[in-house]
Each structure stands twice: as structure tokens, then as C-alpha cells.
Chain A
């Protein structure tokens, strides 16, 4: 991102940028993505150009405009709290990398 006064900062005044660009390692950690060290610079460069593109919208005057989160501004429908389906756990777990007794297995979390 080109350093400009439109770049937003958080409450503590920090931006997601380090001295040579966006803090990719921090972002990747938030997104639970491992990024190869040799790719960090290229990823940072791409993100900077994307954020540069996005920052164009900061020039639009939105004072007094309500945000729109859904095309037709509707509220989600409620339905009766009835059980309508009885999925077969085995069928759904067939895609799981590791299971036992209908549980999903992951590396030990508590020693």
C-alpha cells in the first residue's frame, strides 16, 4: 500500500503494516494459514496492491448512509424448531480424514 493518510489504523494507532509493508505473518496467523517464508514478500506485494485498490472507496462520501448487508435488506426468516431430517453420521463422516466412534480425531490437545 502506498503510505497515505487514508490508511486506517486501529484504536491503538497500529496499522497492519510493518516498515516494509503488510504484516503477512500476523495476518496469516489470524487466518490459520502457514505461508512459506520465501513467499512472504510476494504475498505482501499482492496484498498491498489489493489494499491500494480497495482504498479508492475511502473517497466516497457515506455520511448518513446506513450499511446494506443483504441485497434486499430483509430480515432472516424464522422457522419452527422441528426436526425435519435425520442425517446419517456415518455418511457425513465418510469424508473425514480420521474418526473413531463418531468422533473426529485431531492431534492431542491436552497432555
Chain B
């Protein structure tokens, strides 16, 4: 496979009978086998199952099935439970865990006829911004193998950027779809909290976790979102929505915006990031398309990182208490007591960053500290959400950088967790407010891709996708391949 095809390209080729799903899957597997040893973007390949699913899709198509996602190869972040397939969350703790059921996202995509090629690498339990905390080894950025792909959905981002797969699922708790999308030069969408079911998605911080698509273009992201989204009775925070534009996305693609937009530029997001000239050029492009810009203020932005690391760590320490070496996951050898079993299984099964977050959460939740940390953080979370509400009274969307820097060197930040946490500076506030946001490529700094972030009001992914699609019709940043620039 020389040319890297988009999901939409493949959908068209399949419907015209130019190619079969089996042929597409064979091409993809060959490319993965040829290239991925240098990237390490996959933890598990499910070649046999993929070929069987592809054959079933071809059969269904021959019988008249014309659904747009039928037979398209994709990959899942290894945080989604896949029945009968190893599901590790990038952790030694789950290195032997074979999920007994499918996540709702996995079953919805399979029901739509999509073919999973395998499971992508990730930071352990989605805790990290560089994919260096994975038990299965770090992932290389396709643009420069000495640099990180971002995290935690770094395997999905690298696989899409390298053309190993056109679409992969990711999850985003504080930026884990958007930051790696930016660092790898692809498009990534974190939907509104509640838009996509969390059932079967291994929990990190349940009030923040949200799954979304990682693709090269907004059009492909829209196709995947249409398949992934929807109410799920198995997720108590799943939103019941009747957004008819969502159904149209899969069949008709992204509709043209019906009017020029007013786009807000939050002043707090433009103080410390590199590559601002890329954003400036993107802004000019959008102005030429008739959109207007307006300065806005999100005054509690500086508190977002502290608030996030209180709330996410508290939720993580609670969620991860289920890994006790009793029912599933790693168990230590020869435990002398139940206490010893718990403590050594967890000590051996978790990596350093996961332990750091568990201890941070334990600290902030302990007796006497709850009000000063957890409750305080929840109050500021409301102030942050109110900042966005106020901004959206004046503007339709917000435009910001996605990450403060382009991809950094492997090992550069591993010894300084607090510096690593700053990678999430521009992505965390939207997570706390539950808002949809996407990153799309907008240029290069020192031959490394840069991302811009579009933030939309709750449940208005259509606005962000509409603007992104319009931008991508005018520019070709999202079509650049590693190797084109260097």
C-alpha cells in the first residue's frame, strides 16, 4: 500500500467494488508488519480475527449491505475491553487480562461492520502525556523517532500518523486524544462528556474519561463519531440526545456551516506556547473564509492543572483499588497474608506514574484533607465551567493551541512529573467542563507538526467538525506524511 487512504476513500472504493475489505486488511497488516517494529504503536495484532471480520463484511456487501463503515479497518486503544482479546491498559497489572466482554464502543463499531486490526499502545492506565509509562515500551513519533508521540493515546496517534491505520479509537481524560493528535500531526476529537459510552472502557477518572476518534481528517473523525456515539443504558452518565446531524454525518459527511462563526481567542492560552505563528496563519485562513475573531478571557485557567491533578488522582486512586490480585490481574508469588497479597501485587503490577497518582489521590482524600483539596478542587471546577459558559455567550467556538510545545525528546521529561503535567495546560480545562474539543494539524515548527484546538459548547461537536472540515478543504496540513517535511 503506497498511498495512505482515508476511511472515506476506502468506503468509496469498497462501495464501487474497486477493492475488498479482505484486500484492505491484508494491505494494512503488511504495512504494520513492515513498519511497526520501529514505532511500537501496537500491543496486540488480531490478524486472523480481522481477516475473518473482513470476509464477513465482504459477504454482507455482496448481499447488498451499503453501510458506509462496512469493512473499514480500524484499531482500538488497548483501554477498551475486547472479548477474548488481551486488554492491558498498558499495564503489567493487566498483562494477562483477556476481557470477557466488549466495550460498547467496540461492539458498536463491530456492529457497523468496522474491522479491528488490533490494540494500540498507551500510557499505563492512560496516565501520561508521552507514552513512556507503558509496560509494553514507549512509542516513537513517526515524524522523529527520537521524540514522543504524546499520550496517553500515543499508540493510536502514531499508528494513524504513520499510515498504519486510517482511524483508531482514543480516550481523553485531560488531553489524551488531543495532545498526541497534535504531536503526531493528526486530527483527534474528544466528544462532550456523556456523548460516547464509557462501558467497558477501563476507568481512570470516571467524571472526566471520554472516548473519541483519532484520524487524519475531520471527515473521518465524523464518520467514526457517528458510529461510536449514542445513549447506552450500561453507562449511568451516558447522555440521551437527539442530535439528528449525528446520524447524517456517517452517510452524508460533514455539512457546510450555515453561517460565518464568531471565534473566541482566550488570552490565557496564548502566553507561553511555541509555534504561535502556525496559529496566526490558521487564524488568517479562517478570517479569509469570513469568520470573525474576538478576544475572550477564561480567568481560572491557571488553576485547571492543580484542580485536575486533585480530582483525576482522587478518582484514579479509588478506581484502581479494584486491582487487588484477587479476581483478575497480576498476583504476587507466595503471598504470606491477604495484606501481603494486596500490597505486593499492587507494588509489582503498577508502574511509577500510576503509583504516584494513587498516592496523590490517597493524600488528598485522606481524613482532614478532603475539604482543603478535593472539595476545593470541585468548587474551582465549577468556576472553570462557568468561565466557558460566559465565553460562549459571546462566541460560537474557541481557538487555542493544543499543547504548549511540539513533540519533545524521549526521556526529556520523565524525571520531572510536574513538568510533564504542564503538557495538559490547554486541554485540561475543557475536560473539567465536559466540553467537546478537537485538535487538528495547523503547520510545522522545526519540522514537527503543530496542532490547534477548537473548543465547542456542550454537545456542539457539529460546530467544531464543521469549521475543521472547512479549514481542511482549504489547507493540506492534515494530508502531510512523515517524510514529506524532513
Contacts and interface: CB of A to CB of B under 8 A. Distances in A.
Interface of A: 8-12, 14, 16, 22, 24, 27-28, 30-36, 43, 46-47, 49-58, 60, 62, 65-72, 74, 76-77, 79, 87, 91-98, 104, 106-107, 109
Nearest to A30: B362
A105 to B, nearest CB: 9
Contact of B194 (A14, A69, A72): A72
Contact of B98 (A35, A94, A97): A94
B381 A107 contact: no
Given A43-B356, A54-B306, A95-B100, 13 more contacts: A30-B366, A31-B358, A49-B418, A50-B309, A51-B363, A52-B418, A53-B418, A53-B421, A54-B310, A57-B380, A71-B432, A93-B327, A95-B98
B368 interface: yes
Nearest to A52: B418
B456 to A, nearest CB: 14
Given A8-B372, A16-B369, A47 B359 contact: yes
A110 B368 CA distance: 33
Contacts of B331: 97-98
Nearest to B334: A107
Nearest to A59: B303
Nearest to B326: A104
Interface string B89-119: 0000000111010000000000000000000
Contacts of B309: 50, 53-54
B417 A57 contact: no
Interface stretch (B50-58, B265-273, B339-347): B339-347
Best-buried of A36, A72, A79 by chain B (most CB within 10 Å): A72
Given A31-B359, A54-B309, A67 B326 contact: no
A22 B363 contact: yes
B347 A33 contact: yes
A109 B368 CA distance: 31
Chain A contact surface mostly: loop
B379 A65 contact: yes
B143 interface: no
In the complex, the 5 A-B pairs of residues with the closest C-beta atoms, listed nearest first: A10-B368, A71-B434, A67-B378, A8-B372, A95-B328
Nearest to B300: A60
Using C-beta atoms within 8 Å of the partner chain, give the interface range for chain B: 35 or more
B376 interface: yes
18 contacts: A8-B371, A31-B359, A43-B356, A47-B356, A49-B417, A53-B305, A54-B364, A57-B307, A57-B377, A67-B379, A70-B434, A72-B193, A72-B434, A95-B96, A95-B100, A95-B329, A104-B326, A107-B341
Nearest to B208: A71
A47 B378 contact: no
B193 A76 contact: no
B321 A32 contact: yes
B390 to A, nearest CB: 15
A50 B327 CA distance: 32
Contact of B327 (A8, A28, A96): A96
Contacts of A60: 300, 303, 376, 380, 383
B326 A96 contact: yes
A107 B324 CA distance: 13
A62 B379 contact: yes
A107 B207 CA distance: 35
Interface in B296-352: 300, 302-303, 305-307, 309-310, 317, 321, 324-329, 331, 335-344, 346-347, 350
Given A79-B233, A107-B338, A62 B376 contact: yes
A32 B347 CA distance: 9
Nearest to B354: A33
